[in-house]
Amino acid sequence: MSVANTGEVSVQVVAETPFDAGERRAWAGRAAAYAAGFGRLCAYTVPRLLDAAGVTEGGRVLDAGTGTGTAAAAACARGARVTAVDAEPDMVRSAAAAAPAAAVHLATLPQLPFADGRFDAVVGNFVLNHVGRPRAALAELRRVTRPGGRIALTVWAAPPAPGQALLGRAVQAAGVPRPPDIPALAPEEDFPRTEQGLAELLRTAGGLTEVTCSAVSWEHRTTPEEWWHGPASGVATIGRVVTSQGPAATERIRRHFLELATEFTASDGQLVLPHTALLASGRVAA
Ligand SMILES: C[S@@+](CC[C@H](N)C(=O)[O-])C[C@H]1O[C@@H](n2cnc3c(N)ncnc32)[C@H](O)[C@@H]1O
């Protein structure tokens, strides 16, 4: 793993979990394919996320797991002084292009190359669900947030909303198993993907006060082609599963996907996919 040299603190590199290693493979070189599909989906929660973290003009903001930089760019547009990090070099390049006013670094949770209390607000849009040690990641996010500062995070709710379950159903219908090199999160690291479960995590592992968590539901409009492109390009865990057994299996999944997608197809041919995320926030004790 390489880390940014921000000149603030030296980061001691610890071994990554098998889950983290799987995540690195799932995102490597996939910024463009992510941006066109899942990235557009994830953008929906960004304004509320920034509100929940209290991102305003002049505030020092960290966007952790910035991906293609959607939240970082939106925070810059609010006049905030933005730093962003991601564990994947391709994402770092993409975020730097999307948010040229931000300082974008390669860095991997749960270790950030920033001094204690460095930020007024920290956001992570659909990142906590991609780290192998969510509790340690939260503790690190709290460390870099100043006393009185705010942290806001989103994760996907489970069980998933029907639109979010679509690709997984296609994989299942095609009889393609999850490959062994895509390990699940260790059970002792997991937490309930419910409003109560995420709020409790922020209170305990994050040590945050004034914690709130609510479900955010919306209908994502896309096309079958756009929705298939990301997974067929190997993006995220679902993409690694979709592409894990070669072109014939991928084609089998695609056929099931198109069949199941008719449940969500509007009269104009677009897919209307209901999704539900959890948005939680809290304050670092002053
Ligand atoms: C679902 S994407 C979300 C990206 C972005 N926040 C957005 O809203 O579009 C997850 C991102 O988290 C990054 N990521 C995964 N594990 C990470 C870790 N341990 N530390 C930092 N970034 C990580 C991935 O490289 C990927 O860019």
pLDDT tens across the length of the chain (286 residues) = 345 667 787 776 777 899 999 999 999 999 999 998 999 999 999 999 999 999 999 999 999 999 999 999 999 999 999 999 999 999 999 999 999 999 999 999 999 999 999 999 999 999 999 999 999 999 999 999 999 999 999 999 999 999 999 999 999 999 999 888 888 999 999 999 999 999 999 999 889 999 999 999 999 999 999 999 999 999 999 999 999 999 999 999 999 999 999 999 999 999 999 999 999 999 999 9
Structure-token match 């209908």, residue found: 219
Helix/strand number for the chain, H first, E second? 12, 7
Ligand 1 atom with the smallest distance to the CA of 71 is 8
Ligand 1 is surrounded, with C-beta below 6 A, by 20, 23, 27, 39, 42, 65-68, 70-71, 86-88, 91, 108-109, 125-127, 130-131
Question: What is the Å distance from ligand 1's center to 101 Cα?
Answer: 20
Beta strands 145-156; 60-64: pairing state: unpaired
Ligand 1 atom with the smallest distance to the CA of 45 is 8
Residues whose CB is less than 8 angstroms from the CB of residue 246 and which lie 6 or more positions away in sequence, other chains included: none
> What pLDDT score does 6 carry?
78
Structure-token match 């975020």, residue found: 95
Residues whose CB is less than 8 angstroms from the CB of residue 218 and which lie 6 or more positions away in sequence, other chains included: 44, 274, 275
Tokens encoding 43: 């953008």
Ligand 1 atom with the smallest distance to the CA of 137 is 19
Question: What is the Å distance from ligand 1's center to 267 Cα?
Answer: 34
Which amino acid is residue 101, in one-letter code?
A: A
Structure-token match 């910035």, residue found: 66
User: Which pTM was predicted?
Assistant: 0.95
